[in-house]
Amino acid sequence: MAYMVTPSVVLSFGGRSVEVPSFSAFAELQEKAEAEFDLHPNSYDFFDVCGKVELSALQRVVRMAGDGPCQLELRERPEWKKLRELEARIEDVASRQTAASSTSQPTTETAEAGVVTQVESALSHLLAGLADVETKVNCSLAPLVQSMALSQIDIKAKLGSIDEIVLASRLDSLQEQIASLRAAPAAQQDIPACKLDL
């Protein structure tokens, strides 16, 4: 949306102010704010005394300023503010490390020796942990697994012997029935007739 050339606008952010003598579009005002205060696009909002100033309300806010400059405050969005604080912390830590390294000037060999020491310490800690686990397995799990395996072998043997006993008993019973049927006379037995009611 294009605006007529307006009276000056004073932008303020973080205790600093800059005057924009005139602007013809909202985007032009945003570019000026981003360049002057080193802000990322869409990382801030414009506010006046009544609250947040949207694009649609900018012309009204400028007209309400009258003959004097229009006062607009830039407020960084919370996520961008946190990001800026983190960047400042990182730069602070980096500058401290640079200052510390320039005063002590550790050699590459010293740094390598420190890394090697840390790696060796970590490896010895890891090996101790592995030995601990191996001891636990040998002392607790191995006897349990062995006991379960022996128990399973015993159960399988018992089931096998039960099957053999049952089959032998059934075979004996069938042989007795066959022998009794052969010994019985081949006389035909009378089967009583059934009467069906229809």
Q: Measured in Å, how far apart are the chain's first and last C-alpha atoms? A: 103
Q: Which residues contact 52 (CB under 8 A, 6 or more apart)?
A: 45, 46
Asked if 23 contacts 30 with a C-beta cutoff of 8 angstroms, the reply is no
What does the pLDDT read at residue 75?
93
Asked if 55 contacts 26 with a C-beta cutoff of 8 angstroms, the reply is yes
| Residues, the chain | 198
Alpha-carbon distance of 136 to 81, in angstroms, equals 52
Alpha-carbon distance of 110 to 174, in angstroms, equals 92
Positions of the chain with pLDDT lower than 70, given as ranges: 1-7, 101-106, 185-195, 198
What does the pLDDT read at residue 102?
65
From the number of C-beta atoms within 10 Å of its C-beta (0-12, 13-18, 19+), residue 10 rates as middle
pTM for the predicted model, two decimal places: 0.44
